[in-house]
Amino acid sequence: MNEANARLCGRFVLREKIGAGGFGEVWRAYDEVREQDVALKILYPQLTHSSAAWQVLEREFTLSSRLNHPGVLRVYEPVRDERSAVLPMTYAPGGDLRSLRGQRYTRIVPLLIEVARALEHAHSRGVVHRDLKSGNVLLDVGRGVLLADFGSAAVTGDADNALPGSPFTASPQQLAGEPPTAADDIYGLGALAYELLSGAPPFYPNFDIARVRNEPAAPLNPAYPVPPRLEQLVMRMLAKRPAARPATMHDVASELNSVLHDTLTASPEMIQSLQEADGYPGPHENTTLDALNVTQALPMPTSDYHEDDARLAALDEPTEFVPKFEPPLARAERHTQPRPEAHPETRPEQRPELRPATPSERRVEDRRADPTHNESIVVDVFGAERAPRDDLPLVDLNELAAVAKAPLPHIEDVFRAGS
């Protein structure tokens, strides 16, 4: 059993437990080699010497090493000895999106845009995430979101070596064992948006694979009013047939951006209608942004989902604190100057812009504009260069299924482990 101050693999000093899943626990730990805190995924003792479980860690590292995006959590090479097998990664102290369930869409949509852009980058590298539950999107203090946990990720089209993800966000095609495609993540992001806006994922609490594959999701029942355009987009993302969903993650990000742009440029009549639907007492003369920020400060109504906290807790561990980062609308209001144009020869792919670039976006543009930057090379903290690996380890699903017969903490992760 892991405990605080224990040293694993001769270099990781455990500080505090962050969470647990089907394969192991996650701890905040101090890495004595890198001289910094990391998040450390530690395999359960019964999995420490399992070659299949070790291959899952190697696979997560290998797929993550293909990606170089500020919205993707950095994963380091797995380490093991006779007693432990661990996977270190960047530590993000801001919590995750579970703390934002049932919030107003004006807080949620900017974060969904960031997730969509991170997924767009992953898809461009041939990687499909396939496990877009709210606990797998971390909040990076002061900067935005970080897409984490590529343990169920797969290469596009690789049906023989794909692990199932969380059932509540898995597409019908994913549940049927079809080859992974970007359409799986479009469905998964739709399920994540549904969960954040309404308080619980689609088909909760009566989940059944046959229902997911054959029945449409119930109409979105948000805790707060949302624009019809946003509701229609979420339901299209949850379409049974991939062809009925948005074609690419870039299209999803563009539509979400347009929803937010429509809100920020809304007429006084639209602002008043949103306030009245929210129970705000009468019209006022504030600016659009001020009006939206006022409605954000109102008491949050209790949805039916929130009355069943014990059942929601079965999906994941509750978040213990609210992340301390700048609200997206405040950030949008603070940036008042027009975004400077990039040099025509190095200008990134054009997308509809709502606001000037965030610091993380500017870092991406700086890398693109730097002729010395080579995105095919990943530089680790020691300055040593290593090429992204393409030799994905094959995972023995039969061995994982056998191991998963032992009691594990979370039923959705038992599903993920292959039982």
Gap between the Cα atoms of 241 and 23, Å rounded: 31
CB 330 within 8 A of CB 293: yes
Q: Both 133 and 194 in a single domain? A: yes
- Residue 284 included in any domain: no
Residues 105-115 have pLDDT tens digits of 999 999 999 99
* Sign of the torsion formed by the C-alpha atoms of 366, 92, 198 and 214: positive
Claim to verify: residue 59 and residue 107 sit in the same structural domain: no
Q: Which residue has the tokens 């479009």?
A: 186
- Residue 2, pLDDT > 90, answer no
What's the total number of domains in the chain?
A: 2
pLDDT tens sequence across 157-183: 776 556 667 888 999 999 998 999 999
Q: What is the CA radius of gyration of the chain?
A: 22
Q: Is residue 342 part of a domain?
A: no
- Write the CB contacts of 157 (distance below 8 Å, at least 6 apart in sequence): 179, 180, 181
Q: Is residue 282 part of a domain?
A: no
Same domain, 122 and 226: yes
Q: pLDDT tier at 255 (50, 70, 90 boundaries)?
A: very high
- 200 — phi, psi (to 5°)? -155, 155
How wide is the angle at C-alpha 197 spanned by C-alphas 194 and 203, nearest 5°? 35
What is the rounded (10 degree) CA torsion for 18, 108, 100, 223? Answer: -150
Cis peptide before 225 (omega within 30 of 0): no
* pLDDT tops 80 at residue 378: no
Q: What is the dihedral of CA 13, 98, 292, 259, to 10 degrees?
A: 110
- What is the per-residue pLDDT for 20? 87
Pair (177, 323) in one structural domain: yes
Q: Is 111 in the same domain as 221? A: yes
CATH number of residue 76's parent domain: 3.30.200.20
Pair 78, 146 in one domain: no
- Exposed/middle/buried for residue 314 (C-beta within 10 Å: 0-12, 13-18, 19+): exposed
Q: Are 144 and 213 found together in one domain?
A: yes
pLDDT of 146 strictly over 50: yes
User: What pLDDT does residue 208 have?
Assistant: 83
The residue that leads in pLDDT, 101 or 411, is: 101
Are residues 83 and 103 located together in one domain of the fold? no
How many Cβ atoms are within 10 Å of 58's Cβ, its own excluded?
18
Q: Is the pTM of this model over 0.75?
A: no
Q: Which of 292, 319, 334 is the last residue of a domain?
A: 334
Is residue 347 in a domain? no
Alpha-carbon gap, residue 319 to 311, rounded angstroms:
15
